[in-house]
Amino acid sequence: DSGVTQTPKHLITATGQRVTLRCSPRSGDLSVYWYQQSLDQGLQFLIHYYNGEERAKGNILERFSAQQFPDLHSELNLSSLELGDSALYFCASSVGAGGPHEQFFGPGTRLTVL
């Protein structure tokens, strides 16, 4: 158990809908990262938040957004969902904002768009 929690574990929805994925980092970690893992694209970095502020953006679509709240939990919002958004979404946390800090991954949320 990494100490990072993600809810829900599974999510099934229809095209065009909007969903919110939630992540709680390990106690004491200030950074939260979101990743998408699909069969054809592998593991891709989406976005990084540190202590409530966005720090880095990766391959995140404009239909996706995220935020980190004062209690340090984070939410990833996916809107106007398409079939291709079906994937595993992982959240990870680390102590710092940069440097060689180990990232601890949560168990993931499996999103299926029908």
Q: Are 110 and 88 in contact (CB under 8 A)?
A: yes
DSSP three-state, residue 2: coil
Parallel/antiparallel/unpaired status of strands 109-113 and 10-13 = parallel
Which segment (20-28, 65-73, 76-84, 95-103) binds other proteins by CB under 8 A?
Answer: 95-103
Q: Identify the bridge partners of residue 48 per DSSP, sorted by sequence position.
A: 33, 56
| Element spanning 32, H or E | strand 31-38
The nearest distance, CB 31 to other proteins, in angstroms, is 7
How big is the chain, counted in residues? 114
The nearest distance, CB 37 to other proteins, in angstroms, is 7
Binding mask 33-72 for other proteins (x = CB under 8 A): x---x-x--xxxx--x------xx-x--------------
Where do contacts with other proteins occur on this chain (CB under 8 A)? 2, 4, 31, 33, 37, 39, 42-45, 48, 55-56, 58, 88, 90, 92, 94, 97-108, 110
